[in-house]
Amino acid sequence: MTLLSTNITFLNDNDRINIVEKPLEFLKSLKGLTVYDIEGVNQNKTRIITTLIHGNEPSGLIACHLWLKSNERPATNVRIIFCNPEAAQTKPYFTHRYLSQNDDLNRFFTLAAKTNVIADNKQNIKSQVTFRAQQILSLICNTNKNELKPNKGSVEAILDLHNTSGASPAFAVAIKSDIKHKLLAEFFTDNMIKTTIPVGAIMEQALDAPIVTIECGGANENKSHQVATIGVQNFFDTVSLFKRESSLVKIRFNPLRVELKNDATVGFANHPLQTTDITLRVDIELLNNSVTPAGEFIGWNIDNAELLFQAIDSDNKDRATSLFETRGGLIYTIRAMQFYMVTSVTEIATKDCLFYITLIDNHSI
């Protein structure tokens, strides 16, 4: 069964007049991988936004829909790519991160960059997702074999717009923290993580222009849509993206990915659940908002001795025991840390990860 269409829908300035009024109707109108190419005042450069890589993260679509509908002419050419409408169109709309188990598009870009899946060889969902990732990479590169590159000008910058599953302020993630990456992040946030943990995401790929992932904030929060809307508008309007030599963006280094061990399970409650190995406190998403001190209670571990989650660093080593401890089955932090992407959506916490952290006091463990 083909879940992902192999066709790409290319639209341009002439199609803006047909854009429907509401973002939900706009989502319903998308036919598979969809690209809008809009001509700018300066036609020597193209700025790219990718969004909807995850179908349950609407801020990028809401912001780009509003901007497309405005009929404004951008400072440079613009290419907007709606990457995975099929996941977002799976009912209930905007609730499916991906189409089925284990096919998270944003974990397939490294594989897609290394392999060459042909369109005919897409009998399983993994091949289909890899092919979609290849198509998206072709759409954002200056050079490619498939003639999918932007029509005019060279790619100047790429933003990949996401939401966090849990309530959260906006932050950026990139693999580089130079001034160009900071200035791109600053359209949305003053907080950026320089990540060294490879997961196969689009931002990890060697591209022709700087790429920054923007987590616009929680998927269900209006303020996230506002952050995205203002950021997209300014990204397209600004004449010179990289003129400034300094930025207010603060960089956090060396994130650790905290995930369940083996087949351990997690639940969320204000008492220890009898039905899961780990119970995180029900208000755990609040930890996204500010620095968490050492000694903070975060939940319960069914095993009194061994932690049933791990904290993986960039060397793929588990650092959990130097960051968390269990006392009588209760879990506490033992270092000051910033939590990111904490979610109480059980499926995402289980299949992807519980959360990320960066340390506050110094960069090493």
Where on the chain is the footprint of Zn ion (CB under 5 A)?
Answer: 54, 57, 162
Indicate the residue among 57 and 259 with the shorter CB distance to Zn ion. 57
**Neighbouring C-alpha atoms within 13 Å toward the C-beta of 214:** 35
Picking from 148, 251, 240, 230, the residue whose alpha carbon sits closest to that of residue 188 is 230
Phi, psi for residue 199 in degrees, rounded to 5: -125, -5
Indicate the residue among 26 and 98 with the shorter CB distance to Zn ion. 98
Indicate the residue among 162 and 181 with the shorter CB distance to Zn ion. 162
Shortest distance, position 287 Cβ to Zn ion, whole Å:
19
Q: How much is the CA Rg of the chain, to the nearest whole Å?
A: 21
Q: Which residue(s) pair with 77 in the sheet?
A: 46
Q: What is the DSSP letter of 26?
A: H
Indicate the residue among 88 and 308 with the shorter CB distance to Zn ion. 88
Evaluate whether 79 touches 46 at the Cβ level (below 8 Å): yes
Q: What is the DSSP letter of 63?
A: H
Q: What is the DSSP letter of 357?
A: E
Shortest distance, position 160 Cβ to Zn ion, whole Å:
8
Reported as type and span, the H/E element at residue 337 is strand 337-340
**Neighbouring C-alpha atoms within 13 Å toward the C-beta of 262:** 5
Shortest distance, position 54 Cβ to Zn ion, whole Å:
4
Indicate the residue among 79 and 162 with the shorter CB distance to Zn ion. 162
Cβ atoms < 10 Å from Cβ of 288:
23
Picking from 47, 165, 33, 42, the residue whose alpha carbon sits closest to that of residue 105 is 33
Indicate the residue among 45 and 162 with the shorter CB distance to Zn ion. 162
Shortest distance, position 31 Cβ to Zn ion, whole Å:
22
Shortest distance, position 173 Cβ to Zn ion, whole Å:
10
Indicate the residue among 54 and 65 with the shorter CB distance to Zn ion. 54
Shortest distance, position 120 Cβ to Zn ion, whole Å:
29
Evaluate whether 181 touches 164 at the Cβ level (below 8 Å): no
Structure tokens at 71: 């009929």
Omega of the bond leading into 92 within 30 degrees of 0 (cis):
yes
Shortest distance, position 163 Cβ to Zn ion, whole Å:
6
DSSP β-ladder status, 355-359 and 256-260? antiparallel
Shortest distance, position 169 Cβ to Zn ion, whole Å:
16
Shortest distance, position 279 Cβ to Zn ion, whole Å:
25
Indicate the residue among 162 and 335 with the shorter CB distance to Zn ion. 162
Cβ atoms < 10 Å from Cβ of 263:
8
Query: Cα–Cα distance between 61 and 82 in angstroms, integer?
Result: 7
Indicate the residue among 202 and 287 with the shorter CB distance to Zn ion. 202
